[in-house]
Amino acid sequence: MSDRRLNELCVTELSELLSKGATSSEQVVRACLDRIDVREDVVKAWAFLNPEVALAQARQRDAEERRGPLHGIPIAIKDIIDTQDYPTEYGTPIYDGHQPRADASCVTMLKRAGAVIVGKTRTTELAAVHPTITTNPHNPDFTPGGSSAGSAAAVADNMVPAALGTQTFGSIIRPAGYCGTVAFKPTFGLVSRAGVKAEAEALDTVGAFCRSAHDMPLLLAGLTGHEAAAFDVGAPPNPRIGISRGPGWGEVLPETMQVLDSAADALGAAGAEIVDLPVPALFDDALEAHYQVACYEISKAFAYEWVEHAALISESLAPLIEHGETLSPAEYYAARQIGAEARIEMAGRLTEVDVVLTPAQPGEAPEGLGWTGNPIFNRFWTFIGVPCVTLPTGKGPNGLPVGIQLVGQHEDEAGLFAAAAWVEAHI
């Protein structure tokens, strides 16, 4: 670690240094702010940043008794999550200057765990489909993905060791894959969404970006108020890894296929049992049902914005709202039922393996900032509410990151994180 700057270290490494008194929270935060100062004009990851507020928090943490592994760790917050120390504009001019009076639950939990809230990262409009101005830190001519664009880019560019994001389609896993970070989307509902701008209430999930699989138990513990040991059971000696090649496989580009094949070969050589795991027959139906549920709930969640400020809604988002308004409650409930059936069917198959290995993205990040990429390999897992992890694994033809996605059993974050740590060590 001696040849790396503090802003380049992962949460686990920083936690160890801080616990030993080998550095201070103020030093870590200053290193992050220095990196932001150098790179922000290119990456454009931040919606709101107040160095003095962040440094004041860091000094306070240095003066306090240590609260746990996140004490003094700088963390960024996606700008659809309310913060009392910074404005929250949800990625839309409708909320210009909006200042919440209270933190969202997840922010409060992080503060209670001793984390330092550095600032707010850019999001797509209302965490939906219209892109923001954030660029991919590996090449500013390419998208970082969305909707958690700023969070993924900030962690990938060594601006902060961790950042919060949310996922409704593929808004954590896909941008993490595009930007080359580790990230996790936990089981639906595990992390409170109180104070998070709703998009689709049956789908929205709070998760995080970081730099190592070992960081994930620490972050999820802070977000939930549990001990890190609750999410850290140790790596399985010879995990069973299912390869999922289902409908949508035609979207896989050569770089992703190569990364998956290389990962499977390396993991098999290291002792993992690699098995084929077919996805449910109703996979295609589930993808369509996911879209119906999302649009129906988006049209309700954004009713105020649509009725009172339609002129400020983008041409990208408007069709989702309009489609949602055409759906009847019966159609909505039928789509929800397909999700329930897919969850039950997949639950049985997931008992056959420790984790599923599947693409995090079709290929490397698309060129240009007008599209955040295709979430085809994220939507099914989001719909059935299971936990997912992405790990950076390879590079595409333009030198941009390509990641793999690991999927675990419902409510088994500990098992998924353990398998992810094993996989990370062997690829």
* Helix and strand counts by DSSP (H, E) for the chain: 14, 11
Task: Dump the DSSP string for 75-118.
Answer: EEEETTB--SSS---TTSGGGTT---SS--HHHHHHHHTT-EEE
- Point out the catalytic residue in the list 147, 151, 212, 244: 147
CA distance 103 to 81: 8
Catalytic residue among 25, 151, 171, 244: 171
Instruction: Report the alpha-carbon distance of residue 61 to residue 29 in Å, rounded.
Output: 11
Query: In the annotation, is 262 catalytic?
Result: no
Which DSSP state fits 136? Answer: B
Closest CA to 74 of 123, 39, 119, 41: 119
CA angle in degrees (0–180, nearest 5) for 323-327-330:
160
Is residue 78 flagged as an active site residue?
yes
Quote the tokens at residue 347.
């639950």
Active site residue 24: no
Single out the catalytic residue among 15, 44, 78, 244: 78
**113/302 Cα distance (integer angstroms):** 32
Per-residue b/e over 112-135, b at no fewer than 16 CB within 10 Å?
ebbbbbbbbbbbbbbbbbbbbebb
Instruction: Give the helix/strand (H/E) hosting 187.
Output: none
Known catalytic residues are 78, 147, 171
